[in-house]
Structure 1
Amino acid sequence: MAGSGQRRRPVVALYERIADAVHDGTYPPGSTLPSEPKLAAELGVSRPALREALLLLQEDGLLTVRRGVGRTVNARPPRRGFEQVQPLEGLIGAGEPLRVRALLRTVEEPTDFTTQHLHAPARAELRFWESVLTGEGVAAALSHEWAAADEVLDTVHPAFARALRAVDGEPGAAAVSML
């Protein structure tokens, strides 16, 4: 596959098209996007691909979903840039340690995304971490991680649950080997 490093998944390209439409004012802040069937037809894409792109846009803070209203463009959509995320292994030097600096450690209720991917019940408590990962002294990635509730982890992977409890709340950076 020639040029596969620059090739984007169709959902990423769709994400970018919608994000561009938000940033160029086609869908201004506070506006409601057309219904899924109408938007899919306008963009010439399948509804499953559109749903995935919309979910990613919601997770990245461009859209808010409100029951009975639909998908609304947030009043202050985040700046462009996250759409250009590259694979982590391509951003850090081979064999170099990856440094992780904790930004946020909390417990939260699942979002649509985490409910779908972690099969978490709607009122579950999930651990959430936000970290900056650096390689060779340069920020390489912003990491968002979720883990199932403690009682689930204790059942399905006790060693992982113990490891999480052991590092919970530790301030500062930790080195993680990427080898």
Structure 2
Amino acid sequence: MEIVAPPTAPEHPRPQGQRRGLVIVHTGHGKGKSTAAFGLALRAHGRGKAVRIYQFMKVPTARFGEHRVFEQLGLPIEGLGDGFSWKSRDLAHSARLAREGWARAEATLRAGQHFLVVLDEIMYPLRYGWLPLQPVLQALRERPAHVHVVLTGRAAPAELIDLADTVTEMALVKHHHHAGVPAQRGIED
């Protein structure tokens, strides 16, 4: 490891533009996309801001760790799907749920009553062709100027990356699954 001197001045000049709602994308094959989005949701909620989280692949009855704590905190989180595609019994039904879920999420975006809207795992229904990309891009462009949006999932489309204000790609360096260690409650749920 190389030792470096701590900075004595800011790395970048202080931005002088107006504050506005941001489009933030967390993508890539590494872990942490949803976790980062949930961290932003907690930060905003902690500041008394209205937050809404939609999970495109989770079932409405999901009781993962994030659901339990968000319920305790009064932070709304809603599963819109029927699980990941390999668990689905009817992919046409999964696609219909994604479209119905998008209609709810889009209405939330356009209403402007939330400071932050999280569209967790939305890249999957986009990639599978269950949701057309253009209406999503249009809603992001047309949302009220103060609404922040976080979109998560692997392989974000180039058009979304171009539209976004901030894009973070989580890179996979090493994963415990490759060593045969299964998912664990409290880490991956």
Q: How high is the TM-score relative to the length of structure 2? A: 0.25
Greater fraction of residues in strand: 1
Comparing both chains, which one has the higher relative contact order based on Cα–Cα distances under 8 Å and sequence gaps of 6 or more?
Answer: 2
User: Looking at CA atoms only, which structure, 1 or 2, has the larger radius of gyration?
Assistant: 1
